[in-house]
């Protein structure tokens, strides 16, 4: 079964735009679980422009599904993970000023840096996923680093899907097969949507989790959160 993890960063962004606590991040997370989400994803950034570190602590203590915390392993981020001990940490190579993730790790160049952090997170009982492009060499290096999972960066797939979905999916199928052959589990995320998710899911031989935020929250403006989560869940059957 492929898990749908709902990324609630955009909910926090709306809240922060006006101050106060509307919409309430925790309420949305709990409702997302009630509507069928099997995980909650957050990506706190140093400027706290959406999810705050305090949100992560609150979510960890309240949700019943898996909490996936994404981020660059700065000292402050690492301390958060050690304190919160989420089910999963997804390491992304974003610099602090990045608007959103736009590339996977070069796991060869950053091998020692990543290996050090992966080992430390695992000491705290946290499963580690590394955000990578569908590049077989980078996937092999992620395995050698010691990660349990990779998360395939799917922006290129989403961009190409509208004109040639078969060529768009091909490198991801190969990447999924190769990861599985190495004993890695496979996650995916970034620009997955109701338009392209079902084909992605049906095409990959191995897919453990998708984390979706921007498109899902945007769709919820029209369809409501419950119907939207149900629609995304239906793409994974």
List the catalytic residue out of 33, 43, 117, 151. 43
CATH of the domain at 100: 3.20.20.70
Contact indicator for 5, 210 with CB cutoff of 8 Å: yes
Does 70 qualify as catalytic in the annotation?
A: yes
Per-residue pLDDT at 96:
64
Q: How many domains does the chain have?
A: 1
List the catalytic residue out of 70, 148, 151, 209. 70
Does 226 qualify as catalytic in the annotation?
A: no
- 138-159 pLDDT per residue, tens: 999 999 999 999 999 999 999 9
Say which residue the tokens 């960890």 belong to.
60
- Cβ neighbours for 11, distance < 8 A, ≥ 6 positions apart: 23, 25, 28, 217
In Å, what is the CA distance from 171 to each residue of 4, 157, 158, 175, 231?
22, 9, 13, 6, 26
Per-residue pLDDT at 221:
97
- 75-134 pLDDT per residue, tens: 999 999 999 999 999 999 976 666 566 789 999 999 999 999 999 999 999 999 999 999
> What percentage of the chain carries pLDDT values higher than 70?
97
Give bridge partners of residue 40 from the DSSP assignment.
6, 67
List the catalytic residue out of 50, 117, 178, 190. 190
Per-residue pLDDT at 99:
58
- 16-49 pLDDT per residue, tens: 999 999 999 999 999 999 999 999 999 999 888 9
Does 43 qualify as catalytic in the annotation?
A: yes
Q: How far apart are CA 165 and CA 163, in angstroms?
A: 6
Give bridge partners of residue 66 from the DSSP assignment.
39
Residue 156 buriedness (CB in 10 A; 0-12 / 13-18 / 19+): middle
| Domain interval for residue 60 | 3-234
């Amino acid at each position: 079964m492929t898990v749908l993890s709902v990324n609630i960063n955009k909910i926090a962004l709306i809240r922060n735009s006006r101050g106060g606590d509307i919409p309430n991040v925790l309420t949305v997370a709990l409702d997302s679980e009630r509507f069928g989400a099997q995980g909650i994803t957050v990506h706190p950034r140093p400027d706290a422009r959406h999810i705050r570190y305090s949100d992560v602590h609150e979510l960890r203590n309240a949700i019943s599904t898996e909490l996936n915390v994404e981020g660059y392993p700065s000292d402050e981020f690492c301390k958060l993970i050690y304190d919160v001990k989420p089910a999963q940490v997804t390491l992304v190579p974003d610099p602090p000023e990045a608007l959103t993730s736009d590339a996977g790790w070069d796991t060869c160049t950053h091998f020692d840096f990543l290996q050090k952090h992966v080992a430390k997170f695992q000491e705290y009982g946290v499963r580690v996923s590394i955000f990578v492009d569908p590049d077989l060499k980078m996937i092999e290096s992620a395995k050698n680093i010691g990660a349990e999972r990779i998360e395939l960066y799917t922006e290129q797939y989403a961009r190409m899907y509208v004109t040639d979905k078969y060529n768009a999916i091909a490198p991801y199928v190969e990447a999924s097969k190769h990861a599985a052959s190495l004993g890695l589990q496979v996650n995916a995320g970034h620009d997955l949507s109701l338009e392209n998710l079902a084909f992605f899911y049906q095409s990959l031989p191995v897919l453990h989790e998708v984390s979706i935020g921007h498109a899902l929250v945007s769709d919820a403006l029209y369809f409501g959160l419950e119907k939207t989560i149900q629609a995304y869940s239906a793409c994974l059957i």
